[in-house]
Homo-oligomer: A and B are copies of this chain.
Amino acid sequence: MRRKKETGSGSAAAEKCSVFQKRRMQIVKKATRLFAKKGYAQTSMREISKATGIDLSNLYYFIESKEEILFRVFEMIHRPESSVFENQAIMGLEDPAEQLRAVIREMMRFSILYKDEVLLLYRESKQLPKKLLKEILARESGFIRHIESILRKGLEKKAFAMEDPAFTAGLIAYELSLYPLRSWNLKHYSQADLIRRVERHIMGAVLAT
C-alpha cells in the first residue's frame, strides 16, 4: 500500500493534490458510514462506488485497495484523538486531577461523537494486515502513555494513589471507549450525564484516599 505519487509541491500541484485528497477523503468518509452500518467485509466496493458516486474503476484511481480504505478510516479516527494532547488549555493545567478530568471529558465527548468510528476500530482492526495494525496500535499506545504521564505527575504530588500507573492508564483509555462499545445499554443517558458518571468513576478509582 505504497502512497500514490503525492504530486510534487508548487501552487498548481498543491491545488491538484488537494482535489485528489478531497476525493479520497470523500471516499473514506462514506466508507466509514458503510463499514459502521454493515461491517467491513459486508460492504462491497460497488456499494462504496454507489455511495460516493465515483465509478468503481475510478475508485481505484484514488485508493489502491479496499484494505487501504479501512486503514485510512482508522487513521482518520486517530487524528482528532491525538489532538487532545496538543490542546494547550488542557496540557497547560497544573493540577493533575484537573488535567485528568479535562482529558476524560474531552475524550468522552470525542468518543460519543465518533461512536461509530471507534466501534469500527474495535470491530474491524483485525482485518488489517499486521503492519498496518501495528501502526494503529502504536497510535493508541501513544495516547495511553500520555495518560500515564498525567497519572505519574499526580502520584508524585500525592494527589493520586495507585499500584501501577501504566496499567491504570490503559484501563482508563479503555473506559473512555465505554459508549461506543456499550451504547445499547446507555441510550437513555444524556451526553453530560454519561461524561460526568464516567469521570466520577475513574476519579474515584484514582484519587488518593
Contact = CB atoms under 8 A, between A and B. Distances in A.
A81 interface: no
A201 B170 contact: no
Contacts of A209: 209
A67 interface: no
Given A39-B126, A41-B39, A197 B164 contact: yes
A189 interface: yes
A197 B205 CA distance: 11
Contacts of A146: none
A182 interface: yes
B175 A171 contact: yes
A198 interface: yes
Q: How many copies does the complex hold?
A: 4
A7 to B, nearest CB: 13
B200 A202 contact: no
Contacts of A127: 39, 42
Dominant secondary structure at the A interface: helix
A interface, how many residues as a size bin? 35 or more
A106 B130 CA distance: 32
Interface in A41-72: 41-42
A200 B165 CA distance: 12
Most B CB contacts (10 A, CB to CB) among A42, A124, A185 go to A185
Interface string A107-131: 0000000000000001110110000
A182 B140 CA distance: 11
A171 B108 CA distance: 14
Interface string A168-209: 101100110010011011100100000001101110111001
Contacts of A201: 162, 168, 171, 205
Nearest to A40: B41
Interface of A: 39, 41-42, 122-124, 126-127, 137, 140-141, 144, 162-164, 167-168, 170-171, 174-175, 178, 181-182, 184-186, 189, 197-198, 200-202, 204-206, 209
